[in-house]
Structure 1
Amino acid sequence: MKEIKQRKGFENRSYKIDSNSEFVEVTFNSIKEKLRYKIHLTEIGNEIQYEADNVIVGKIFIGITTLITIICLGFYYLGNPEDPGTYVANTIIWGTISIFGLVWPHKDDILIVNGNKFIRLFRTKPNEEKVLEFANYLIKVANEKRKELAINFDFNEEQFTANINWLLSMNLIDQKEFEELKSEYKLKKLI
């Protein structure tokens, strides 16, 4: 999966991995912002984290405000109120709060962190499985790019050893690969 497009409320997010270049193209649109930029693959982290608001409390509050709005409307139309203006005002106030609660996006995101830049994805848009698939693919591509840049047999031995030590500390290679790379470097230097 090389691209994901997400929409939630008035926010649009799009991430596209350009396989020919070394960047992720990011497009972000909301009511007040319109951003388009690129992030280099080596700046992307390799850890997935979740970030969410307490959505249950918000849903309960929206349910209560909607219920109050419906009761006020029902009493205004079906009852015989002495002061109908009060019910109209309450309907407008509580209805506005309900609409803002429904339209205002709640935070329920997946973050790719542990790098210089982070990627924020809606967790459930289009669905969590596809979002995690894209996130894992992006991390895999970024890790491959890091390995490609760090494993350069033209470096001097000190630089090469520092690079593969860094790869080992970031868990991009295991101890077996580390030893194989050291051996391969020494072999190439002999030839």
Structure 2
Amino acid sequence: MTKRITSFLLAIFTILTLFSGISSANSTQDDIKARTIRSYPGTTVTIMKGDILVTNNTSSSGLTGHAGIVINDSGDVASIAGYGYHPAIQSIGVWYSNNPNTKVVRYYSSLSAALAGDWAANYVYTHPTTPYGLINTLGNQNEVYCSKIPWMSYYYGANVAIDGKSPMASTIYGPYLFLAASGFNVVSISGTW
């Protein structure tokens, strides 16, 4: 009787070990997928929170181009489409589908960039009905345009005054200004420029 119980327990232990190994293998595959580094479409450039995306595919209300800021390492982008729209988040796939001509502009400090990305995500979440508008100061959060969101994100989120601009400045910070902004570098160019 003792041999049967021992054999039975050994068989159960073997089965449990086998299932544990399968579960562990699946878990390892899931972990690898979760850690997979994402790149911008058609490039080998790693997506990083705080990257600013600038495109020449669109223009509205006197602003040439369009801009957004990456809010996470998956590539979600915070921006505003234009008059009649509000701040919103879209996937990197949607961004590139709408804006195949895109330059990725990256700040030299990944910590500051991450803080800016976090601020942008929070801004869109807490200001879902903010209107599009060009007549206000650069730091006014109650009316925004596309490139103002990344500018404010760096200013309020990371204490970086891009190009030394004051939040009290009554000026428009256009999308193309990011391409030559101090501390930023263009790390990827897609499409036609």
Query: Which protein is bigger by CA-based radius of gyration?
Result: 1
The structure richer in helix per residue is 1
